[in-house]
Amino acid sequence: MEGGKGGNSYWPGFVDALTNVVIAMIFVVVVLAIALSFAAQMMGKKLAEDILAKSAAATASTVAESAAVPESLRPGRTRIAVAAPTDQPSLEGGTLRPARNVLQLDFAADAVTLDDSATKALKGALAGSPQGGKVAIVATGPSMQLTANQRAAYLRVLAVRNVLIQQGYSADKLDLRIDTKAESAGPVVNISFVGGA
């Protein structure tokens, strides 16, 4: 009988060893999960910083291109005034030169869409413009960090985009952007013709 008792004495040691192995494996898995989570967060931050840096560089180059030449020395710029909404449609038109590189639409503070005279002036200015290349539509204005101003700028860009599409420009070649870093005295939408046939 004593030999039988001695034969079962390995079982408690086996259970202890197996328990220690399971606890060690759980600890390793927890440490790996925490390390992977930390690494994923660091990679996400790095990717976000890279994207922001590329976006800032693209915005800075666009702003530098448009700000490098004083307004008086930009022969390819055509300016169109957009009136604020009134009870009666505005009948005043503007004198425009054919668009070469840049069209600038100066919006009244309350205007988010194009009035009839501005639409006619824009269509007239676009008449001689090439339609094969990319077109950048960029909205700027005062205090662009405020959401109401950004919303109004977005509506202005869409209003100009709709006129360009009506004139035959391809929607996939229109680059719409709201520049929150650039400040201007009043609401402005610039149309730049990057290239064309």
Distance of CA 197 to the CA centre of its chain: 27
pLDDT at 92: 41
Same domain, 134 and 45: no
pLDDT at 17: 94
Same domain, 183 and 121: yes
Q: Which of 36-50, 94-108, 159-173 is predicted least confidently?
A: 94-108
Same domain, 34 and 127: no
Same domain, 80 and 146: yes
Q: Can you give the CATH number for the domain in which 134 is found? A: 3.30.1330
**For 181, how many CA atoms within 13 A lie in the half-sphere containing its CB?**
13
Same domain, 74 and 162: yes
The domain boundary, picked from 13, 32, 66, lies at 66
Same domain, 100 and 165: yes
Residue 95 has pLDDT above 50, yes or no: no
Same domain, 179 and 117: yes
Same domain, 127 and 53: no
For the chain, how many structural domains are there in total?
Answer: 2
Same domain, 100 and 54: no
Percent of the chain clearing pLDDT 70 (strictly above): 70
Q: How far apart are CA 177 and CA 62, in angstroms?
A: 11
Q: What is the residue range of 105's domain? A: 70-193
- The pTM for the full model equals 0.43
pLDDT at 58: 77
What pLDDT digit, counting tens, does each position of 155-182 carry?
787 888 888 888 888 878 777 777 777 7
Same domain, 48 and 88: no
Burial class (CB in 10 A: 0-12, 13-18, 19+), 68: exposed
Same domain, 75 and 124: yes
pLDDT at 93: 40
Same domain, 62 and 15: yes
The type of residue at 65 is E
pLDDT at 127: 75
